[in-house]
Amino acid sequence: MSGIERRHAQLLIAIEREGTISAAARTLFVTQSAASQQLRQAETRLGFALTTRTGRTVTLTPAAQRLVDAATISESALLAGEADARWLASSGRPSLRIALGNYDNTRWLGSMQHTLDQNSALAPIELVRSEGHGLESVLTGRAHAAIVPTSQPSGAAENHHVFDDDLVAIVSKDSELANRRTLSPQDFDGCHYVTFGTTPEDGFEYTNFLRPHNVVADHILRVESTRAITDIVASSNRMSILSRWGIPRHSNVTQIPLDPPPPPIGWSVAVGPLHDDTAVAATVAVLLDALRNRDFDSSHVGPY
């Protein structure tokens, strides 16, 4: 029994996303009859049904959903590989793909780009959007590297510790708290709070600052971007706590130290396989140096 081909996997991904075969066919630029034929062919090759129908709506079977979960990861890695191949074919130069997760402040990028402009032997940088802190993109091959909390298990990736950073509160410049020298856990009790994730993470504000003092924020808003969090805080009465490096330098917010101060968060660069590419490896070394030297840093606390 032969397995399915990439076109079959792409069809299943499209069916899950679009909900009907006709809509899936349009996104793949094939006719509905061709898509239906591909689906039947995939079912014949595998020996079991991949969909169920309710009216015009098509639902994947649990077996097909498992295929789609695996195919989505494979397709993402394959598309990244194809992009690399096109880049190499056109320029002969590979690129260093860095995953950009919830902490999407790129203050480090300026000093990096200056170094790259001065040295043609280094690989250019591409930024790849990713869920969470970006580690998943490294593990699936979609990115070469990501800046992640040191405490996060890195799996098969190599972890290179680069710096420790303080957690600080951020409030609007117009907030009644903006002139406070410090904020205590009780200042967050019942507040309108913005966070990049509602699942507690070791080392961050909930486990190391709020929970030990039995403080629970109300009206929690999840925003998976520290840049967007600072924009929301700057224009509202909401509050947040972030690792200082994730706060854009010119954000219209006030940074306030926490009391008692929670332990600093360690940050690392998780690096996946580089396939002996010397230019990419050299660029990773530049990234590590820039972060260890905190070229992006500002020790300023208070309104920017």
Name residues whose C-beta falls within 8 Å of residue 260's C-beta, 6 or more positions apart in sequence: 184
**What phi, psi does 271 have (nearest 5°)?**
-120, 130
pLDDT of residue 91: 62
The mean predicted confidence, pLDDT, of the chain is: 89
pLDDT at 241 over 90: yes
Name residues whose C-beta falls within 8 Å of residue 292's C-beta, 6 or more positions apart in sequence: 162, 163
Taken in order 196, 197, 202, 208, the sign of the CA dihedral is positive
Q: With respect to CATH, is domain 6-72 assigned 1.10.10.10?
A: yes
pLDDT in tens, 7-24: 999 999 999 999 899 999
Q: Mean pLDDT, to the nearest integer, of 162-190?
A: 96
pLDDT at 77 over 90: no
Q: Mean pLDDT, to the nearest integer, of 156-175?
A: 95
Q: Mean pLDDT, to the nearest integer, of 22-42?
A: 93
Query: Taking the CB of residue 152, how many other CB atoms lie within 10 A of it?
Result: 21
The token duo for 171 is: 């409030």
Q: How far, in Å, CA of 38 to CA of 193, rounded?
A: 49
Q: Mean pLDDT, to the nearest integer, of 41-46?
A: 92
CATH 3.40.190.10 residue spans of the chain: 167-263
Q: Mean pLDDT, to the nearest integer, of 114-136?
A: 91
Instruction: Give the end-to-end CA distance of the chain in Å, rounded to a whole number.
Output: 65
pLDDT of residue 198: 78
CATH 1.10.10.10 residue spans of the chain: 6-72
CATH number for 167-263: choose from 3.40.50.620, 3.40.190.10, 3.40.640.10, 3.30.200.20: 3.40.190.10
Q: Mean pLDDT, to the nearest integer, of 118-140?
A: 91
DSSP, residue by residue, 66-101: HHHHHHHHHHHHHHHHHHHHHHHHHHS---EEEEE-
Q: Topology of 93-158+269-292 in CATH?
A: D-Maltodextrin-Binding Protein; domain 2 (3.40.190)
pTM (global) more than 0.75: no
pLDDT in tens, 247-304: 988 889 999 999 999 999 999 999 999 988 899 999 999 999 999 988 666 443 333 3
The token duo for 152 is: 């996060």
Question: What are the start-end ranges of the E strands in the chain?
Answer: 51-54, 57-60, 96-100, 125-129, 145-149, 158-165, 167-172, 192-195, 218-222, 240-243, 253-257, 265-271
pLDDT of residue 114: 86
Are the C-beta atoms of residues 15 and 58 closer than 8 Å to each other? yes
Mark out the alpha helices in 92-243 (DSSP H runs): 109-118, 135-139, 205, 226-234
| 192-195 and 253-257 beta bridge pairing | unpaired
Closest CA to 195 of 229, 167, 172, 168: 229
Longest CA pairwise span in the chain (Å): 71
